[in-house]
Structure formats: C-alpha cells, structure tokens
Amino acid sequence: MYNSLSYKSKQFFWLIIKLSIVIGCGYFIQQRLTSNNKLQFSAFYQNLIKNDIFSIKNSIFLFIFTFLNWFLEITKWEILASFCVKTSKKNATIQSLASLTTSLITPNRIGEYGAKALYFNKSLRKQVVGLNIIGNFYQMIITLFLGVIGFLYFVYKHNISIDYSKISRFVWIVFLVILVLIFGINYFKSKNNFVEKVKTFIDRIPLKLNLKVGFISLLRFLVFSHQFYFVLLLFKVDISYLDAISAITTVYFISSMVPMLSLFDFVLKGTVAIWVFSFFTIEPFVILSATTIMWVFNFVLPAIIGSYFVLTFKPNFVK
C-alpha cells in the first residue's frame, strides 16, 4: 500500500514539474512577443506583412536554415552522447528539443544539462553532463574566435575608439582569476581526486570526436549567422555581405559574454544589434524585427516541439 502511494506521489510530482515547465515556457514566450515595449506586436506584424516575410519561398528558406541549425545541433549531441552509450538520431532529437524547452527559463540555459542527463541511467549522468559541457564549449569557442575577427574588422572599419586602459585592467583581472583557478585546482587536487577524474574523463575523449564536434559547431555558427543575413535581406536592409557578417559575428560575440535567461536572449541580442547596426544607419525597429524572427525560428518553434517531449518524458521509476 505504501509503495503504491509512493509510486503515485512520484508520478504526480513529475506531472506537476512537466506541466510547470511547459506552461512557464509558453507564458514567457507569449510575454516576450506581446509585451515588448521596444517592439509593439501589431507594428511588428504589419512590418512582416509589408515585407512579405512569410511568403512561401521565404518561409521555405527560413525553415531550411532552422532545420539545418537544429540538425547539426542534434547530430553533435548524437556523436557526444554515443561516446557514453549508443544513441540514435531519434533519441538525440528528443533529448535536444526537450532540454531546449526546459532550459529556456534558466540562466545561460543551465537547465539543459540536467534535462539531458535525466534521459540516461544514473551511473552515466555525470559523464552526460560533462559531454554536454564539451559540446557547448566548442560552440562558445567558435563564437568567440569568429566573433573576435568580426569585431576587430568592425572596429577598424568604423574607427571606433577603445579605452585600452579598461581593456588592460580587464586582462589583468582575467589573468588573476586564471592564477586563482590554477592554485585552486592544485589545492583540490591534493585534497581529493575530483580534478584527476575530470582530467581522466577529458583524456578519454578521442581527438577524432573533438574534431567532429568542433567542425559541426563551426558549420552551425555559419548556418545561423547566414540565416540572420538572409533575414536582413528580407527586410530590404542595404548592407554589403562583408559588413553584415562582421556586424552579425560582433553581435553574437558581445551577447555570448553576458549571462542571461535564454527567454531574454533575443532582447539582449536585439539591444546589442541595435548598437552595432546603428553604424550602418539601419532603423532599430528593423533590427529588432530581424532578431525576433531569428528567436522565433531557432528557439520558439523548436521549444514548442520540445514541449511535447517534456510532457511525454517518463523518469526511470515509471519506465
């Protein structure tokens, strides 16, 4: 009798959690789209109609970009997860989209790590979290590397003045933080074998897998940055390809360094993009419209699909 009640209590508990995630995600998406002071939904909608954004041809191209973006992300996760236990494309898709839905209401999408780990046996969850960190690390490295190149070109092209004294102070702070981390790691290494376990885990990952994940991360960055460029063209923005790509990589570079709820990610990117594209005398409304379209196609639509997988998720005790 007790076990039966406990089982039902756990089922009810998980149902509440899943419903809270889906309802919370839906509510915040609705709020971001309809309660943005900088982008009135009615004006945004009229702008879409005016530029024929959702014509059949334009919609097909936008969906192709989104499909490629998430196909690459799912493939990357399939490769990483298969290092731990053989994972099919179908399972990788379910895990990726469900974790996206879960992560939208957490800072820096940290909920993604726990959500993906729940799909695996308890003994594998630490490894799964580690593999997820590696996948996101490569995506961040690609964003920073290409972002720095784009940013330097952007600064040179527009002769933007930079306070080098502030940069030098920042570099010194980063250097000190690295030193503290090194001493901290050596201290903990002497106290326990946690760092050794992490090092052993990283050393176990073959070079071929690292190269695959890095290459897929590069392809994914190229896909969503060119999707952004395509959206700008749909809004009839007069800008050269080189200027557009340097500006787009600069936007991703700056916004990637600011911790924020994923649901507010497009607000951050919109704010940064307004400043960057102001050097090309492009109206803020157009840029906000473009970043919103990007957010809807690459986060909202996949999150809606992921909501189904969240609701149908069954924890180990009910499988």
Mean pLDDT, to the nearest integer, of 230-247? 93
Instruction: Say what percent of the chain tops pLDDT 70.
Output: 69
pLDDT, tens digit, 9 for 90 and up, residues 80-115: 999 988 999 999 999 999 999 888 777 667 778 888
> Side-chain half-sphere of 290: how many Cα atoms within 13 Å?
30
Res 26 pLDDT > 60? yes
Mean pLDDT, to the nearest integer, of 126-133? 89
Distances (CA, A) of 216 to 142, 198, 210, 212: 10, 24, 10, 6
Sorting pLDDT into bands at 50, 70 and 90, what band is 1?
very low
The token pair that represents 182 in the structure block: 């090194």
Q: Domain segments of the chain: what residues?
A: 12-43+54-318
Instruction: Check if the beta carbon of residue 126 is closer than 8 Å to that of residue 229.
Output: no
Angle, alpha carbons 130-133-134 (nearest 5°): 90
**Rounded Cα–Cα distance for residues 108 and 256 (Å):** 9
pLDDT, tens digit, 9 for 90 and up, residues 305-316: 998 888 887 765
The token pair that represents 304 in the structure block: 């809606």
Predicted confidence at residue 261, as pLDDT, reads 47
Predicted confidence at residue 5, as pLDDT, reads 46
> Side-chain half-sphere of 81: how many Cα atoms within 13 Å?
25
pLDDT, tens digit, 9 for 90 and up, residues 146-155: 999 999 899 8
Long-range contacts of 219-225 (CB under 8 A, 24+ apart): 219/72, 220/69, 220/72, 220/73, 220/76, 220/139, 221/139, 221/142, 221/143, 221/146, 221/252, 223/65, 223/68, 223/69, 223/72, 224/65, 224/69, 224/294, 224/298, 225/146, 225/249, 225/252
Q: Is the pTM of this model over 0.75?
A: yes
Rg (CA), the chain: 22
